[in-house]
Structure 1
């Protein structure tokens, strides 16, 4: 894959909404991926669009929210219409200037984001995004995620600007927290988690209390990673259905007790998942 698979990044657009993204904290994978795929010596960067297998749309959902929405102080302004217009306008620009979107109806194009709003970009115009590939941390089928077309990626919290091993992680046999959930109360699954476990057991921690480090807590916790199209997670992980959330502690207690990008790291795994979906979708002839 490293020798053959090539990605073209559109040059259109200006920072900070395009060609830029967060390099730190909970949405870091968005900026790290843009930075990695656009660097001059990236082995995946196509020298010409005609040599590319897929086309990357380098807009940042996080930066759109930060620079377009956050300056507005009214809470009633968080409708997704402006986000959808920005993304649709960017697609229109590259489609009018280049032949690649129109020749495949977007089938060999993809975006990447870890922001909760990312799945909403296609809601206003489902037909336009019918074949478009979304690479998301928010891989919820109830919010439009399509497992056969879209790609699930891990959410990686980085305190510093480079990818690497966690600085505060602990070996698997020295992790005192069985399960940890940090996030606001929205969505049915999160509400169910909080109802079952909030303030009930120190082994299963929820929300993020003031003071403790998110990275430190995650480094002490067992957690799930994606790439299920490549890795057989049933061989080395435990998957808990929503119905079994009350059994989380019992299930986990019953379990006996690895910049620039390199093969088998997160960036390569993301691109491998994109490559597989590109291979499985025939372009019009």
Structure 2
């Protein structure tokens, strides 16, 4: 793939809505991906659109919300019309200027976004976007995410000036906490989790805020299992944080299409607990044999490189994994047989 796959990023559009995005915080993957794919040094960058296998729409939904839905200009206005109009107009511009969108009905075009609203760009005109590849953190199959067409994007929280959290993970025998979670009361899953476990158990340490004097990253590094419940949306940066800390992720979600499932078997390095089993978390985790835990721990160490963000990108990192997922969907698509998608 690295030697053959080429991506053309459309040049149309002006900053800050196009060609740039947030480089830090919860939506950082948007800006990081846009900057990397448009870099002159990227081995995937097509020099001419005719040599491209796929076409990137360099639009940042996070920046649309920040600059177009300004609370100063439009206080408390969350009408999606402006979002729809921007995306529809951009498709119109590139479809009128180039032959590629019309040739494939958008099936070899993609966008990348981590904002909660990103799936909605296609809602007003579903027929226009029926083949379009959406690379999304909000990969919720109950809200229209299609794993065969779309790509699930890991959510990575980046502090300003960094490319990821510090690795403070301990060896397995030094991990004295059975399970850990700290985070805001966002969504019904966390409400159930807090009702059952918040500040109630020394082995299942669940906090809304990390107690004074303790360190979030160090606590992850001391835990065998890190609880990763969905918040308002299905994705959580804690999955990547847990993997980075060598802590086995415990996925508690509904309808979440996990990233890179085309090639990664998540059952080999995570524990997945149904929402209905939240009251049984301690019983479930404490009854996992140590031999199985060590296998999960080893697999977490092996897959860690696939969730690391590098600049410039390196083989097998998260950037390459995202492009590989797009590459697989491009291989499954034939221009002469679009309706089979």
TM value normalised by structure 1: 0.88
Aligned residue pairs: how many?
283
1:236 to 269, 274, 281: 269
Q: For each residue in 1:169-208, what CA deviation from the matched residue of structure 2 results, as whole angstroms up to 9, or x when unmatched?
A: 423635547242635534x544444444444446342545
CA contact (8 A) 2:180 2:220 kept: no
| Pair 1:283-2:282 in alignment | no
CA–CA separation in structure 2 for the residues paired with 1:32 and 1:66: 17
Matches within 5 A, 1:106-117: 106-117=106-117
CA contact (8 A) 1:208 1:214 kept: no
CA–CA separation in structure 2 for the residues paired with 1:5 and 1:152: 20
CA contact (8 A) 1:18 1:59 kept: yes
TM value normalised by structure 2: 0.74
Gaps of 5+ in 2: 227-246, 252-257, 295-303, 305-310
CA contact (8 A) 2:180 2:219 kept: no
How far did 1:153 drift? 1.6
Secondary structure of 1:112 counterpart: strand
Secondary structure of 2:267 counterpart: helix
CA contact (8 A) 1:157 1:215 kept: no
How far did 1:149 drift? 0.8
How far did 1:226 drift? 2.2
Which residue is equivalent to 1:69? 69
Q: For each residue in 1:21-48, what CA deviation from the matched residue of structure 2 results, as whole angstroms up to 9, or x when unmatched?
A: 1111111111111111110010010111
Gaps of 5+ in 1: none
CA contact (8 A) 1:21 1:32 kept: yes
- The 3 A distance-change label for structure 1 pair 6 and 226 is same
CA–CA separation in structure 2 for the residues paired with 1:88 and 1:135: 17
CA contact (8 A) 2:185 2:191 kept: no
Which residue is equivalent to 1:130? 130
| Pair 1:263-2:315 in alignment | yes
Which residue is equivalent to 2:50? 50
Return 217-226 or 87-96, whichever deviates more.
Answer: 217-226
Two-structure CA RMSD over aligned residues (Å):
2.6
Q: Which has the larger radius of gyration?
A: 2
Higher relative contact order (CA 8 A, sep 6+): 1
Which residue is equivalent to 1:17? 17
CA–CA separation in structure 2 for the residues paired with 1:54 and 1:68: 28
CA contact (8 A) 2:210 2:216 kept: no
Matches within 5 A, 1:15-164: 15-72=15-72, 76-163=76-163
